[in-house]
């Protein structure tokens, strides 16, 4: 769990977390609050780490694989003309990463299956890839903008990395939380009871 006092003001936010477009959509629609990460090839040290706690949600079309999604999400995957990214990227939300918990046990990953958009094959694949590195379970509270903001794609945004700095002036203050305080905390409690029971007992 993070210390809120150490986070940067929302108004100065330029950092973005890259994630499959279908996952960003699920977060901004309130379908899930969970992301599972191990880091891309170009991550510093080859391992995922949370560098910023308030981030724009950057939808990426790189490596989206319908066969690793639950059926209700697999049909939402669409191709872009370039095959990798659109010329214009639509940013519709930012998120606060409230928890980042590392797990290594297959039983815990399996128990998380009802709470995210991926199927059992994806979860198992993520855990087995780089087996010495734990899987990061991120819990995010999404804030959706009333009007999505379009930005131009930049070459620096591409590649197998989780974090980018947006070269655009976006307005986060007008965004509203997707879930109420009570609903978000209820989901957090359900998930931390699985991945971090000590946190749940303290809360």
pLDDT per position as a tens digit, 142-164: 999 999 999 999 988 987 788 99
Give the pairing type, strands 176-177 and 135-152: antiparallel
Q: What is the pLDDT of residue 4?
A: 40
Distances (CA, A) of 134 to 16, 105, 106, 139, 175: 22, 9, 11, 16, 33
Q: What is the pLDDT of residue 82?
A: 61
More confident call, 72 vs 1: 72
Q: Is the pLDDT of residue 5 over 50?
A: no
CB 18 within 8 A of CB 164: yes
Residue 138 CA to residue 102 CA, distance in Å, equals 9
Give the mean model confidence (pLDDT) for residues 69-97.
85
More confident call, 26 vs 168: 26
Residue 123 CA to residue 112 CA, distance in Å, equals 9
Q: How many CB atoms lie within 10 A of CB 153?
A: 15
Q: Name residue, tokens 């930012």.
A: 94
CB 57 within 8 A of CB 22: no
Average pLDDT, the chain: 85
* Token reading at 81: 């003309």
* Token reading at 138: 């991120």
* Residue 73 CB burial class (10 angstroms; 0-12, 13-18, ≥19): buried
Q: What is the pLDDT of residue 44?
A: 59
Tell me: the pLDDT tens digits for 23-41?
999 999 999 999 998 865 5
Q: Which of 52-56, 111-115, 125-129, 190-194 has the lowest mean pLDDT?
A: 125-129
pLDDT above 70 coverage of the chain, percent:
84
Q: Where are the alpha helices (DSSP H) in the chain?
A: 21-28, 71-74, 106-111, 120-128, 181-195, 197-202
Q: What is the pLDDT of residue 28?
A: 97
Mean pLDDT highest for which of 28-42, 60-74, 170-184? Answer: 170-184
Q: What is the pLDDT of residue 3?
A: 37
């Amino acid at each position: 769990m993070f210390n809120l006092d150490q986070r940067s003001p929302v108004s100065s936010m330029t950092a973005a977390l890259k994630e499959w477009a279908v996952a960003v959509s699920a977060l901004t629609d309130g379908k899930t609050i969970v992301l599972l990460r191990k880091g891309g090839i170009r991550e510093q040290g080859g391992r995922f780490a949370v560098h910023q706690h308030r981030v724009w949600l950057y939808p990426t079309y790189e490596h989206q694989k319908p066969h690793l999604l639950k059926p209700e999400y697999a049909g939402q995957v669409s191709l872009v003309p370039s095959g990798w990214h659109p010329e214009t990227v639509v940013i519709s939300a930012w998120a606060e990463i409230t928890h980042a918990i590392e797990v290594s046990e297959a039983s815990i990953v399996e128990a998380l299956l009802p709470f995210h958009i991926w199927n059992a094959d994806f979860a198992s694949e993520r855990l087995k890839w780089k087996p010495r590195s734990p899987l990061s379970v991120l819990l995010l509270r999404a804030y959706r903008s009333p009007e999505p903001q379009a930005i131009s794609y930049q070459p620096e945004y591409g590649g197998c990395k989780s974090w980018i700095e947006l070269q655009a002036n976006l307005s986060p203050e007008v965004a509203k939380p997707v879930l109420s305080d009570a609903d978000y905390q209820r989901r957090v409690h359900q998930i931390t009871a699985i991945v971090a029971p000590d946190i749940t007992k303290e809360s």
